[in-house]
Amino acid sequence: MSFLAQGAAEESIPFWDSALLDQWRIPFGDWIEQGLKWIAVNLEVLLDIFAWPFDFLIRRLVRDFLTEIPWIWVVLAMMLIAWLARNLKVAAFVAVSLAVCGLMEDDYWGATAETLGFIGVAVLLCVVIGIPIGIACGRVDGIWRKTRPILDAMQVVHSFVYMLPFIWFFGLGEVSATMVTMVYALPPLIRLTNLGIRQVPPDVVEASRAYGASESRVLFDVQIPLARPAIMTGINQTLLLAISMLGIAGLMGAGGYGRLLYRAINNQDVGLGASGGLAFFLLAVVLDRISQREEVGERHLLQRIGLAWKHRRDPDMLITDRDASAVVRYQETETHAPITAGERLPMGLALLGGAAAIVSAFLPWTSNAGKMSAWSRWADASLNGELEGRVFNGLEASGGSWFGITVLALGSFVVLAVAGCAARPGRAPRWLAPDGAVIAAFAALIVAASHFLAKPMSAAGVAAGAVDPGRGIGVYLAMAGGATAAIGAVLWIRAAEHRPLHPLPSGIGWGSMIGLGAAVLILFIGLFSGWGFDERQEAIITPELQAQFDELEQQSIDNPDRRAAIAADMLSLRAQAAQTGTLVTDGLSSQGPQLGLWALLAGLAALLTGLPAVGVFGGDEQRRWRWSAATAGIGSGVAGIALAWIFTHVRSGHPKYTSGIGSFLALIGGMLILASTMAVLKEYRRAKVYGNPRDAAAANDPGGGTAGKSA
Amino acid sequence: MEENGNELIRLESVYKIFGPQPHGRAFDLVKAGVGKDEVQRQSGHVVGIDNVSFAVPKGEIFVVMGLSGSGKSTVLRTVNKLLEVTSGRVWVDGTNVQTLEGSDLQAFRREKMGMVFQHFALFPHRSVIDNVGYGLKVQGITKEDRDKASMKALSLVGLEPYSRNLPRQLSGGMQQRVGLARALASDPDILLMDEAFSALDPLIRRQMQDELMEIQNEVHKTILFITHDLNEALRIGDRVCIMRDGAVVQIGTPEEILTEPATAYVAEFVQDVDQGRVIECREVMSPPDPIDPSMSPAGALAHIGDRTGAFVCDTKGRPTGLLTAAACTRAADNLAAAVRSDFDTASPETTLNNVYAAAGRGLPIAVVDGDGRLVGNLDPRSIMEEMGRVEQLIDGFERETYL
């Protein structure tokens, strides 16, 4: 009671008054601070030992190695990892995504490598620590009871809270950032490992023990293999959480995307934020895809290699390993329809067209100067007269540029589709089929034609010293090849023995129709959006503008309080001024190649071919399939035009002359057309013919084989 | 229980109590004869096994039967020390199992016994042949030898063509065959089968029971079989032990269980069983007491007495004809002409359900041994009499239960 009396005597504050609370204080913060100071002073060696693995991995592995080696090795290594862990498809996705991340802007590759390394180190350390702890938790109830509240705390307490002690002990930088990331990312791995171990059926564990297995055998023979899916999910979760911590890691001084985004926020740089965000997203998807567990029944490369090694002395086991199943035996009695006589001629025609398209890329496309690249380089001194008289093929920067490369790729795909389907009808990859050939052939034709039709260098350009690029034989051959391949593929798809897996939904596919309409709308917007942004001209500061600047300057001197607001005004004014020198060419402008127009016309054509594809003219399934393939081909062509234009600028562009949002919209529009046709296309597979029904019935009865057991 | 020199498994007053302090108050209560439910109420401990003793001689199929919670699976798990007993001793082939620890225990499990589980407990990530060879792998046997032994075990259960499949690709019955093959692969003396067939469809279950008995005729293992299905117990067991609430209620041959149920509990079980499937002819038949057809009809009638008829035998004691009491009365003096040869025969081990049709003709059935010699005379009326007696016995218990 004495303290109440004391308080009353001093200030006579009633005890229900909040002001009373200010007189008393529990110095919890002081205690912790004192403790941390003591640790930092007296246990420095211990802290150094603790920090060593982090420091070592990040300095040696990330700083000195990963960011130093050429980018191609990193991409190839990631691709290999993806192939080993998953499949070739994921590997290709990984390679493309990482390349896009690196291409984004200057020093993006460094940031990508750094981020990759940072996440790699964090996840590696999480795995090394988390899985053993998880296994211990799964096997011993006592450990789990003690661990669980700690995990709860790690997940509930916000990272800002425990960030501080780490910074105190280990300073700002990657080491403390990695530690904070691990605190956040570790719990799900431990939880899922624990869960996985606990979910192993108890009788299977008992069986292992009953046959005399030691406890370590029980763990490695039964518990870990059966808990593997859960553990893999845990690693995946840890990875995603580590990625989500990148922002906070950037705040704590780690490099990579975290720092880029942090900088973008500080400078209110929308462009940096968007490109950084996209790279961030792509990297997250890449890592997620690699670490996802494989689908049931799928056997990834690593498993196949392991199996081959296991059966290196008795390779015949590899064959029987899966095929002994009665189910598989049943499937063997059905085969895919062989190539019919009616398909052979169109296939030959398509093959010829595809081959012509391939050859065309190596023939002259332009002379004197590039047609497309001239748009992005017309003020370059190198073009003025120097290139005159030279001839460029479809692959060279000044020749067909990416149009030639796109035609080459599409032509190769046509050839591959014909050859693949002929060699292994129905068992080749899905798109090596007549519809794949139609899509590639149409796209090749459209891309080649757009190069042919694109407006060459403007009169202004010619006046400035550029020369007329002219047209080479390659462009003509590319168009002829594309057209031949298109005719062949269309004839082929009419004769092809392909059938839908499920009946197509009856009625009109309104979803696809809306998709096509939206695509045309986007292409229309793209027509009036910028395809080229030319910032090479100096900003023009008019006298009026200069007067405004002077006035603002005077204001800021007069009112120091409003200086910040005035500075912002000046910034926006300066941005306005910068735009006066920017030349934006839209998709229709005579100052540009007018590719937007051709893209829009192709889009309108897709809208027309889309009508029978979505079932407006009746529900005949084969007809809907054929028109869907044609529509998809036109969509791919639109996307191809946009892609070729964008990459032409990526490859040979002046850094201040870039492709614009209009081309990006055209790319989206083309993809949307392609996507609208997928509902029909994805149902189609090579038709099947079934073996003799008696064999099928016998193989269908797995119990039948057991009768002769006494043999 | 007979004292037998060649017994392989022996449980001596085994107790098992589940809970944090199995040796404390709960154990005292159980020792004092307090029931399972009451022990749980007073001490919070679950009584698993309550003073169980039995012995299993070599080569016998010993079935432990009881409802869920009766402690039957617990008994099985004390035999390979998957569970530690609270008190009592478990002897297997002269070893006190419960004193084994660590590597000794592992070696003992490896060499002495194989186990089959209710839900198969196959390793889903290993192929059939690797599942079967698991016990051998643990023993450190090379892959080649292991596969050889595994294929032999698989051939016993008729699954050689499926050796490379994964367990999930097989049907339930086939999976349990794999489980059986796994237990047989290391050629142990003892098979522990924990509700091995309970998860299977009735038809497959019957098939598997037949197969087990067939295999047993080949390999002569000592089998400790756990089941909750009395029909299964009576069908495959050489002896059956019925358990309730952790304690043994009755141990005996299937016939003993069926014809002399010790308590109302057993009787209640037994009432649903078709006695005809278990009771064998030799238990019901009367002595052969053959007749000589050269007798006078009056003498023959006297000899037949109150039986339906008597058999005529040749010099080797094989039945050649049947003389019924009715035929004797009708025959004037030529008894030889009244002898009929259209009688039915059965072996002493034939169960009654197999002679119902023959008994329906109203004629005595000749019970003959392996050499065809007459060993008994099975009167149709005595079949009905025996069935009635068992039924009445069970009814008596039932009244006891309900009154």
To the nearest whole Å, the CA of A332 is away from the closest chain B CA by: 16
Contact of A399 with A475, CB cutoff 8 Å: no
Same domain (yes/no): A526, A551: no
Is the domain of A36 the same as that of A78? no
Which chain B residues are closer than 8 Å to A710 by Cβ?
Answer: 158
Kindly identify which residue of chain A lies nearest to residue B79, measuring between CA atoms. Answer: A210
Chain A: closest CA distance from residue B180 (Å): 12
| Whether residue A174 has pLDDT greater than 60 | yes
**Angle subtended by helix axes A316-323 and A301-310, to nearest 10:** 130
Structure-block tokens of residue A710: 């006494």
Spatial distance between the Cα atoms of A678 and A682, rounded to a whole number of angstroms: 6
Q: Between chains, do A214 and B164 touch, taking CB under 8 Å as contact?
A: no
Give B99's DSSP letter.
Answer: G
To the nearest whole Å, the CA of A266 is away from the closest chain B CA by: 53
Interface of A with B in 202-221 (CB under 8 A): 203-204, 206-214, 217, 221
- Domain of A155 in residue numbering reads as 44-296
For residue B243, the cross-strand partners are B248
CA distance B155 to B151: 6
- Give the gap in angstroms from C-alpha B132 to the nearest C-alpha of chain A: 11
Q: In chain A, what residues touch B123 (CB-CB under 8 Å)?
A: 204, 207-208, 221-222
A contacts of B157 (beta carbons < 8 Å): 709
Chain A to chain B Cβ contacts (< 8 Å): 96
Does residue A340 have a pLDDT over 90?
A: no
Task: Looking at the complex, report in whole angstroms how far the Cα of residue A678 sits from the nearest Cα belonging to chain B.
Answer: 34
CATH 3.40.50.300 for the B7-11+54-252 domain, yes or no: yes
List chain A residues with CB under 8 Å of B117.
Answer: 203, 206-207
Same structural domain, A420 and A511: yes
Specify whether A521 is located in the same domain as A483: yes
* Domain identity same for A639 and A564: no
Task: Write the ipTM.
Answer: 0.78
User: CA–CA separation, A191 vs A238, rounded Å?
Assistant: 11
Same domain, A555 and A608: no
Q: List the single range of A507-511, A701-705, B178-182 with lowest mean pLDDT.
A: A701-705
Q: How far apart are CA A148 and CA A144, in angstroms?
A: 6
Chain B residues within an 8 Å CB radius of A702: 170-171, 174
**Pick among B97, B113, B162 to test the A interface (most A CBs inside 10 A):** B162
Decide if A707 and B158 are in contact by the 8 Å CB cutoff.
yes
Domains of chain B by residue range: 7-11+54-252, 282-385
Nearest C-alpha in A relative to B117? A203
Cα of A10 vs its chain's centroid, Å: 69
A221 and B161 within 8 Å at the Cβ level: the answer is: no
Using the beta-carbon criterion (under 8 Å), do A201 and B121 form an inter-chain contact?
Answer: yes
Does A33 lie in the same domain as A181?
no
Per-residue model confidence as pLDDT tens digits over A347-389: 999 999 999 999 999 988 887 666 777 676 654 444 555 666 6
In chain B, count H helices and then E strands.
18, 15
Q: Say how many domains are in chain A.
A: 4
- Do B106 and A327 count as a contact with CB atoms less than 8 A apart? no
**Of the candidate ranges A74-88, A232-246, B324-338, the one whose mean pLDDT is the lowest:** B324-338
- Judge: B174–A708 Cβ closer than 8 Å, yes or no: no
> pLDDT tens track of chain B, all 403 residues?
344 568 889 999 999 999 888 888 888 888 888 888 888 888 888 999 988 999 999 989 999 998 888 889 999 999 989 899 999 999 998 889 889 888 899 989 988 888 999 888 999 888 899 999 998 998 888 888 888 899 988 988 888 888 888 888 888 888 988 998 998 888 898 999 998 888 888 888 888 888 888 889 888 889 999 998 888 888 889 999 999 888 999 999 988 888 888 888 888 888 777 777 778 888 888 888 888 877 777 888 888 888 888 888 888 888 888 888 888 888 767 777 788 888 888 888 888 888 888 888 888 899 998 888 888 888 888 888 888 888 787 777 766 555 4
Written as one string, the DSSP assignment of A505-544 is PSS--HHHHHHHHHHHHHHHHHHHSEEEEE--SPPP--HH
Please state which of the ranges A45-49, A102-106, A121-125, A189-193 shows the lowest mean pLDDT. Answer: A102-106
Q: Which residues of B touch A326 (CB under 8 A)?
A: 169
Shared domain check, A528 and A568: no
> What pLDDT, on the 0 to 100 scale, is given for residue A515?
93
Chain B nearest CA to A492, separation (Å): 40
CATH, domain range B282-385: 3.10.580.10
Same domain, A23 and A94: no
Does residue A111 have a pLDDT over 70? yes
Nearest CA in chain A to B173: A703
* B contact test, residue of A211, A312, A323 with most B CBs within 10 A: A211
Cross-chain residue pair A703–B110, CB shorter than 8 Å: no
A661 pLDDT exceeds 70? yes
User: How much of chain A, in percent, has pLDDT values that exceed 70?
Assistant: 82
Q: Are residues A557 and A684 both part of a single domain? A: no
The DSSP symbol for A63 reads: I
The answer, for A705 touching chain B at a CB cutoff of 8 Å, is yes
> Which among B103, B121, B211 is the nearest to A204, CB-wise?
B121
Q: What pLDDT sits at residue A594?
A: 85
Report the DSSP pairing between strands A498-500 and B222-227. Answer: unpaired
* Closest residue, chain A, to B122 (C-alpha): A204
Residue B186: closest C-alpha in chain A: A211
Q: Nearest CB to B138: which of A201, A212, A708?
A: A212
Q: Is residue A681, in this structure, part of any structural domain at all?
A: yes
Q: Do B121 and A320 touch (CB under 8 A)?
A: no
Q: Which of B101, B139, B147, B164 to mutate to test the interface with A (most CBs of A within 10 A)?
A: B164
A9 in contact with B, Cβ within 8 Å: no
Kindly report, residue by residue over A211-228, the tens digit of the pLDDT: 888 889 899 989 999 998
Q: Which string of DSSP letters, residue by residue, matches A253-267?
A: T--THHHHHHHHHHH
Cβ atoms of B96 and B89 within 8 Å: the answer is yes
Q: Decide if A316 is inside a domain.
A: no
Angle between helix axes A621-652 and A595-614 (nearest 10 degrees) is 160
A212 and B109: CB-CB below 8 Å? yes
Asked if residues B81 and A189 have their Cβ atoms less than 8 Å apart, the reply is no
From chain A residues 305-334, the ones with a CB under 8 A of any chain B CB are 317, 320-322, 324-327
Give the CA distances from residue A208 to residues A38, A367, A386, B221, in Å, rounded to whole numbers and listed in that order.
51, 76, 80, 21
Cα Rg of chain B (Å, integer):
26
Strand partners, A586: A530
> Is the domain of A153 the same as that of A219?
yes
The string over A272-299, giving b where at least 16 C-beta atoms fall within 10 Å of a residue's C-beta and e elsewhere, is bbebbeebbebbbebbebbbbbbeeeee
* Shared domain check, A354 and A257: no
Query: Residue A433 corresponds to which tokens in the numbers above?
Result: 């089929």
Within 8 A of A220 by CB-CB distance, chain B residues are none
Going along A204-363, which residue ranges are E strands?
334-336
Tell whether A321 is covered by a domain.
no
pLDDT mean across residues, chain A: 81
B-chain CB neighbours of A707 within 8 Å are: 158
What is the distance between the alpha carbons of residues A503 and A625, in angstroms, rounded to a whole number? 12
- The residue out of A296, A326, A355 marking a domain boundary is A296
- Residue with the bigger pLDDT between A66 and B1: it is A66
Q: Which residues of B touch A327 (CB under 8 A)?
A: 169
